[in-house]
Amino acid sequence: MRPIVIAANWKMNTTPSDAGDLARTIASRTRVRGVTRVICPPFVAIAAVRDAVAGEEVEVGAQNVHHELAGAFTGEVSAPMLAGLATWVIIGHSERRAYAGETNELIGVKLDRALEGGLRPILCVGEQLADREAGRATAVVDDQLRGALEGRDSAALAACGLVIAYEPVWAIGTGRNARGADAAAMADAIRTSLRGVGWGSLADDTPVLYGGSVTSTNVDEFLSEAAIDGALGGGASLKPDEMAGIVARAGVTAAARGLAS
């Protein structure tokens, strides 16, 4: 049975002085059986969050990782540097693709580094509005997956717990929302793409999260879909009330799938 995962991407928000308190509050208000909770703060706040949630069943992730292990890469953070700080990492987020020019091939190399460093990756994929309106949404996501995963060890990636987050770029911070049926259809397409690059039955075991402006108000529409296994939240993940609502709803799905015992 695929796990239910709620991941919080804090993006470029919080500081070391306030991140710990926020993480502690969220952790205390989201104790729900059967739901894997992950908080991904900025690099400078990872240690504060790690310490704040010690003793809680909350895991810590990084928002990015460099594709090299070390070297003259000013301002970057490598997988070995995250040892003891984080156990998860977001890779290929749409903002990294757009603002840092990350290609599918580079994202694939980052997956290699995450695997070597013992980090559980959340691989983000998703289309722009123009792609959806032109009927290319599935093709774009398939291309992203093939570019990152083709030729890589599917068994090793599955064993490390690869999670895929579908984030329709046109639904992030725009006021436009995808529908649950759209997300479920894309989740099915994602698993078809995984089978296309040699994942076989492992595709059916790979969790797919929805990540387009998730809130406590709209999360039910996505978690009601059997193909969706959780959410990657942005702005809402900085608000304890929102996170409490999102995780509570995820708990309903976890219970329905027999994961809450």
Q: Which residues are catalytic?
A: 93, 167
Q: Which residue has the tokens 């090299």?
A: 68
- Do residues 40 and 60 touch, judged by C-beta distance below 8 A? yes
In a 10 Å sphere around its CB, with 0-12 CB exposed, 13-18 middle and 19+ buried, how is residue 73 labelled? Answer: exposed
- Do residues 110 and 91 touch, judged by C-beta distance below 8 A? yes
Name 214's Cβ contacts closer than 8 Å, sequence gap at least 6: 222, 231, 232, 233, 234, 236, 246
How is residue 58 written in tokens?
Answer: 């909350």
Name 235's Cβ contacts closer than 8 Å, sequence gap at least 6: 173, 213
- Do residues 174 and 167 touch, judged by C-beta distance below 8 A? no
